[in-house]
Structure 1
Amino acid sequence: MTRCRRLVPALCALAAGLATAMPLAAQQPPSPAQTNPLPTTTAPNPPADPNKSAAPAPEQAIVPPPAGQAAQPADPSRPPLVAKPAEAGDVDEVTLPAKPAAILSGKATWEEAVPSLQKAFAQIEADLVKAGIKPAGRPIAVFTKTEDAGFDFEAMIPVAAAPTTPPASESGLRFGTTPSGKALRFAHRGSYEGIDSTYETLTAYLDAKDIVVQDKFVEEYVTDLKDGADDTLDVNIYALLK
């Protein structure tokens, strides 16, 4: 996993270096979450009519990674943060709702990213079963600190409501809320081993548009995170706007 060395520093540097850039216009957060597809610098697909010419591609076009075959739909009782599905290659401006969630903090090396996240999600699921609390959303990983050797993260699973009295947990489980506010959503379709290419598209897009983001990112696993080579994986990546 080379994401930290190649991509995360770019996000952090971008957030710091673009402090004078003009942010997107503020909007009142809608309820529930809404999406607004944004124009990308990706060259459009050729038109169906061969007699019509395609729109010219801008210079230094950003080409999204090849889309993997979508897996079976997720459990409808556990919807993603944004109801409208993401389209591979598109960038959507979304407003993330603050949902109550069970949270478990952890650390991992980049090489052990998938098994470490799997273990954290499995522990949360087990703790929720013991407490009699049903999950109400897809697993989420918030990457809070990154360096060459590895990263710190918060694994989250949304629930319908946080318990008034949190159950005792030896694992360190706690309750809070999912990241909320305005964000840009990038869809990754394909193996986790190939997710770096989507982050490259993300950082290039932010650079081209002069968009200021927070120095952390969010991954929401629309399909289960099985292993690094699973090419049916569907991940929503959110860049949180400042």
Structure 2
Amino acid sequence: MAQTATPAPATPTPAAPAAPATTTPPTPGASAAQPTDADAAAQPFEIKARPAIAVSGAAKWEDGYKAITAALGKARAALLKANLKEGGRPVVAFVDTDDDNFKFQAMIPLDAPVAATVDLGAEAKPAETPAGRAIKFQHRGAYDDVDSTYEAITAFLDEKGYIAQNIFVEEYLNDPKGADDSALEMAIYVFIK
């Protein structure tokens, strides 16, 4: 991932933490939310925690892209400063959301846990990626169009009777140039009860 190019999340509605508050029609070529495998999607799977470096943040939705980009940049700088080995694509865990604001943890997964003696700086800290039962969805297309993906996710969860927890994770699978880059590919993990 480009060191600072990470998209911002869509605004969730209070009733469903992973659902956006507004509808944005997808751009041509953007895909609607689809479970990654039609047969496996109806069945949640267990995600195991991985060691990570995390930088916490909070922002208004309209400033989300900038806030997440900055936080991931700080996490990556801490990783490089401590000479740690990256163990996966960057992720952002949304841990508290409402119509106007959100709180998050921007994380860079690691190959191994951070030793207690490693200095990560003032803002980064050792962490673990979220773990638990989740369903994986894909978004392909500009992040500006992710609202429609979250709406499709909400419809899928409602149809299948799944109850989402108040945490969801976006994993950025490539390096977008910005929120309007239609080449973006990301996985969205919705943790369920």
Identity %: 38
| Counterpart check, 1:220 vs 2:171 | yes
1:241 aligns with 2:188: no
1:106/1:211 CA distance change after superposition, 3 Å? same
Count of residue correspondences: 175
> 3-state SS of the aligned residue for 1:183?
strand
**1:181, distance to aligned residue in structure 2 (A):** 2.0
| 8 Å CA contact retained: 1:102, 1:159 | yes
User: In 1, Cα distance between the equivalents of 2:157 and 2:165?
Assistant: 12
CA contact (8 A) 1:117 1:155 kept: yes
- Does residue 78 of structure 2 align to residue 127 of structure 1? yes
- 1:198 partner letter: T
Which residue in the other structure is 1:33 paired with?
Answer: none
Contact 1:166 1:174 in 2 (8 A): no
Letter in 1 for 2:16: L
- Corresponding residue of 1:173: 124
Instruction: Note if 1:208 corresponds to 2:123.
Output: no
Q: Determine which of 10, 31, 51 is the counterpart of 2:15.
A: 10
Structure 2 distance, partners of 1:135, 1:2, is 23
Query: For the residues of structure 2 that align with 1:120 and 1:205, how far apart are their CA atoms?
Result: 31
- Structure index of larger Rg: 1
Q: Deviation string for 1:48-76 (max 9, x for gaps)?
A: xxxxxxxxxxxxxxxx986549xxxxxxx
Query: 2:142 touches 2:179 (CA, 8 Å); kept in 1?
Result: yes
TM superposition score normalised by structure 2: 0.80
Q: Distance in 1 between matches of 2:18 and 2:104?
A: 20
Q: Cα deviations across residues 158-183 of structure 1 (Å, max 9, x unaligned)?
A: 00112222533444211121111221
- Tell me the residue number matched to 2:56: 105
Q: SS state of the match for residue 111, structure 1?
A: helix
* Contact persistence 1:91–1:184 (CA under 8 A): yes
| RMSD of aligned Cα (Å) | 2.9
SS at match of 2:86: coil
Three-state SS of the structure 1 residue aligned to 2:16 is helix
Change (3 A) 1:109 1:166: farther
Which one scores higher on RCO, CA 8 angstroms, separation ≥ 6? Answer: 2
Which runs of 5 or more residues in structure 2 are unaligned? 1-7, 20-25
TM-score when scaled to structure 1?
0.64
